[in-house]
Amino acid sequence: MSAKTNVHQIFYDEVTRAQLDPGFMPLDNCANERPDWYEFWVIKNYLERHTLEPDTWYGFLSPKFRSKTGMDSRVLYSFLDACETSGHEVFMAPAHWHDVAMFQNPYVQGEFGTHTGIADLAQQFFKHAGWAVDIRNSVAHSEDFTFCNYVVAKPAYWEVWLHLARIFFDVAENHPGPLGTDLRSNTLYGVACAAPIKTFIQERFPYLVVQERQLKSRSPGPGMIASLAAQQGQIDANTLSLIDACNLMKIFYSQTHRPDYLQAFQTLSREALNRWVAQARRQDNPSAS
């Protein structure tokens, strides 16, 4: 069954416009009025200014979509056609899949990385927004989460996302107390750059939106994602298999709520992280291997 699509790819100047996939609809953000909000600003504005068509897939992708996912528009549309046939409402195009798989959820991943305090700050926001979410104990996996806002979904998803985004934007822009101040503060972005921590909190919304509304969500599938990751050549085969197993244990836990699956994930996750860190060190210092 062929899917109706409105998948946009954002550009910021002529250089990024030249990078766009011709199969996507160009979305002009050359004005870039609020660079501190990154893609969030573009997505929120589009949703507020357009009436979404029922049964149509919408997405808002960065110029780096192909390099981060290994997918072009043709591959993405084939997955959306499959989603249309199977009755899914949300598709997660995998970006930074290893970070999705190795950690219990992306807020925990942020704490491990460079975004110290992100989990507690996110918890404060969701409490303020009236969402009954236990951030640290929540579980996300490849079928309900991806980074970089690489979500393509029907209006049922975007309506909930926009409701949450409006609350978040208002708090981050206008809240006079510690919550607003903390959301406006900077955190590390990469090795030497900084960006507002609000950016990284909103990037991690997707799995919570899916779970809040119990939407039918999928990815290319755990095995296919591992294959895409293998093609990019960044992870050795043994570590790749271990990371894939981490992801599968979380999927099984989400489907059954059996604690032994979560315990298995935690055991596998520790081993996967040890291997990942060791591999990163070898790449940083080849002479030591």
- Domain range summary for the chain, segments of one domain joined by +: 4-234, 236-289
Tell me the two tokens of residue 119: 């989990």
Quickly state the pLDDT bin for 228 (edges 50, 70, 90): low
Taking CA atoms, 283 is separated from 18, 134, 237, 278, in Å, by 32, 36, 16, 9
Indicate the range of 127-141, 180-194, 201-215 predicted with least confidence: 180-194
Query: What is the Cα–Cα distance from 217 to 157, expressed in whole angstroms?
Result: 10
Which pLDDT belongs to residue 240? 87
Q: Is the pLDDT of residue 50 over 60?
A: yes
148's tokens? 């970089």
- The average pLDDT across 205-227 equals 90
Task: Report how far residue 176's alpha carbon sits from residue 184's, in angstroms, rounded to the nearest whole number.
Answer: 11
CA 63 to chain centre: 16
Q: Amino acid identity of 175?
A: H
DSSP state of 220: S
Q: What is the mean pLDDT of residues 23-39?
A: 97
Q: Given a cut of 80, is residue 281 above it in pLDDT?
A: no
pLDDT at 149 over 90: yes
Q: Is 4 helix (H, G, I), strand (E, B) or coil?
A: strand
Strand 151-153 and strand 90-92: the pairing is antiparallel
What mean pLDDT is reported for the chain?
94
First to last CA, the chain: 51
Average pLDDT over residues 140-162: 98
What does the alpha-carbon distance between residue 53 and residue 57 come to, in Å, rounded to a whole number?
9
User: pLDDT at position 182, please?
Assistant: 98
State yes or no: pLDDT of 202 exceeds 90: yes
Distance separating alpha carbons of residues 186 and 6, to the nearest angstrom: 33
Two tokens, residue 6:
């409105």
Task: Reduce the DSSP state of residue 3 to 3 states and report it.
Answer: coil
pLDDT at position 289 over 50? no
Percent of the chain topping pLDDT 90: 84
pLDDT-wise least confident of 127-131, 202-206, 237-241: 237-241
| pLDDT score at 4 | 97
In the block, tokens 């404060």 appear at: 124
Q: Which of 225 and 176 is assigned the larger pLDDT?
A: 176
Which pLDDT tens digit goes with each residue over 63-80? Answer: 999 999 999 999 999 999
| pTM as predicted | 0.93
pLDDT beyond 90 at 125: yes
Q: Helix, strand or coil for residue 283?
A: helix
pLDDT at 270: 97
